[in-house]
Amino acid sequence: GQNIDQPTEMTATEGAIVQINCTYQTSGFNGLFWYQQHAGEAPTFLSYNVLDGLEEKGRFSSFLSRSKGYSYLLLKELQMKDSASYLCAAMDSNYQLIWGAGTKLIIKP
Amino acid sequence: GAVVSQHPSRVICKSGTSVKIECRSLDFQATTMFWYRQFPKQSLMLMATSNEGSKATYEQGVEKDKFLINHASLTLSTLTVTSAHPEDSSFYICSATGVEGGDTEAFFGQGTRLTVV
């Protein structure tokens, strides 16, 4: 079956670095998405990876290994406003999105 | 966890016809539902936000008369693509907000692949 796994919750300190992992199993693969979502708001797009490697966008980076079915989102210089849920989603061969349950990230001062 | 069911998962229709997509929250009451559109290998694009019992709020550039959204109950929202054209072919996904473990979270439907021929 198709499945996405990511940790339910993580805690980190302001100014530090945190890595949120995601493993996926899909029928075919057309890319891996990361979204950020604050409570009560719509998710916002963070990154899209379809090739192996690291994509860097400011404080956020996303990594993909297709052979391992693995991705991570790296957040640097954490700020209090980064407290949110982070959603991993993989697109299968039919362009269906398979969503993870989300990782709730708690930032402490 | 909470479940959002979206139906149909795939639909093919002729130009000029209308298509209705349903989004149901199965085990929670969704006060707010979001409708997104996604082109291949691109991010989700928010189309509109709907609140139960009131008119949907559409994002800039989204035609209200073409994409009709109805949120008649706390468990059902529908998106109707009227007078569909091939350029409306896309992936549509809904999400619903609810309370899980005391926190407000959004749960996503499986998505609908619309092909207009």
Chain B hits for A85, CB-CB cut-off 8 Å, are: 105
Which chain B residue shows the shortest CA-CA distance from A49? B41
Q: Å from B81 to nearest chain A CA?
A: 19
Q: How far is A36 from chain B (nearest CA, A)?
A: 11
Cβ pair A42:B46 closer than 8 A: yes
Overall average pLDDT of the A15-25 stretch:
97
Asked if omega into A43 is within 30° of 0 (cis), the reply is no
CB under 8 Å to B70, separation ≥6 — which residues? B50, B77, B78, B80
**What gap in Å lies between CA A75 and CA A71, rounded to an integer?**
13
Please choose, from the candidates B35, B53, B54, the residue with its C-alpha nearest in 3D space to the C-alpha of residue B44. B35
Q: Which residue has the higher pLDDT, A34 or A96?
A: A34
Q: What is the pLDDT of residue A79?
A: 97
d(CA A77, CA A106): 14
CA neighbor of B30 nearest in space, from B47, B45, B50: B50
| pLDDT tens column, B40-49 | 655 567 788 8
> How many angstroms separate the CA atoms of A34 and A67, rounded?
19
Mean pLDDT of A91-106: 79
- For the residues B88-97, what does the mean pLDDT come to? 87
pLDDT value of position B105: 60
> What's the gap in Å between the CA of B43 and the closest CA on chain A?
6
| Pick from A30, A39, A89: CB nearest B104 | A39
pLDDT digits (tens, 9 = 90+) for A58-86: 999 999 999 999 999 999 999 999 999 89
- Looking at the complex, does the CB of residue B58 fall below 8 Å from at least one CB of chain A? no
pLDDT in tens, B4-29: 889 998 999 999 999 999 999 888 88
Residue of B nearest to A38 (CA): B105
Looking at residue B99, its pLDDT comes to 64
Interface contact B11, partner A, CB < 8 A: no
Is pLDDT larger for residue B70 or for residue B108?
A: B70
Nearest CB partner across the interface for B41, out of A30, A42, A96 = A30
Distance CA A83, CA A98 (A): 23
- A96 to B105: CB separation less than 8 angstroms, yes or no: no
- The answer to whether residue B102 scores a pLDDT higher than 70 is no
Contact A40 B42 (CB under 8 A): no
